[in-house]
Amino acid sequence: MIRFDNVTKVYDQNSRPALDRVSLEVDRGDFVFLVGPSGSGKSTFIRLVLKEDRATRGSVYVAGQNVANIPSWRVPKLRRGIGVVFQDFRLLPNKTVAANVAFAMQVIGKSRAMIRETVPEVLKTVGLEGKDHRMPHELSGGEQQRVAIARAVVNKPGILLADEPTGNLDPTTSMGIMKVLDRINQNGTTVVMATHDNVIVNDWRKRVIELKDGKVVRDEAEGIYAGAQEDAK
């Protein structure tokens, strides 16, 4: 589903590369934790998958397609196949929960009928039934992140990228978010989650890819956070 082939990304010629000859492959339906200290290249990885940046060397393949070969006018189509969730939720503060989720469908031209049908369904999947008409500021952090997840998956992307989705949440709430992500993964969506949260990684025992200084230093199935522990907060 996602393949990095000897990818190097240099932002600034004078400092070390953000990613240094990274090769890895994430299969359809995988759940992958991307761990490592700040500055290890996790966010760069996500940006390259979304084609927000170009790899300096090497190739990035998403759903079998080399993203370098996707012309700029086709990039939106690439992004429709990828949902993204951030640490800071990024909800629209002046729209209700349902409107925030519907927004993601409106802007790609989905019909009103389809939006009416899909939005409540997705809100139910993330555990927000009955909160359609709440405003984001009326919700807890965990609930806001659920709205963000609902928005990320409402267009049924094949891949969900989560950049520290539990970074602003307490452990109990984080567990709830993990359950939601796990459920989405069970439904066949590939999930890549960049995280600092050793408890979650150790509890969940999924595949762990550890980055350090832009290099893959560890890639193990059912791994633990261990290697990066000294950098964790």
Give the footprint of other proteins on this chain (CB under 8 A): 50, 72-73, 76-84, 90, 92, 103-104, 106-112, 151-152, 155
* Least distance from other proteins to the Cβ atom of residue 15, Å: 23
* Least distance from other proteins to the Cβ atom of residue 199, Å: 28
Q: Toward other proteins, which CB reaches closer, 68 or 107?
A: 107
Q: Toward other proteins, which CB reaches closer, 100 or 206?
A: 100
Q: Toward other proteins, which CB reaches closer, 35 or 153?
A: 153
* Least distance from other proteins to the Cβ atom of residue 157, Å: 9
* Least distance from other proteins to the Cβ atom of residue 82, Å: 8
DSSP reduced 3-state for 209: strand
The DSSP line for 25-91 is EE-TT-EEEEE--TTSSHHHHHHHHTTSS--SEEEEEETTEEGGGS-GGGHHHHHHTEEEEETT---
Q: Toward other proteins, which CB reaches closer, 79 or 206?
A: 79
The DSSP line for 9-23 is E-S-TTS--SEEEEE
The torsion of the CA quartet 83, 89, 94, 100, rounded to 10 degrees, works out to 30
Q: How far is residue 3's CA from residue 12's CA, in Å, rounded to a whole number?
A: 24
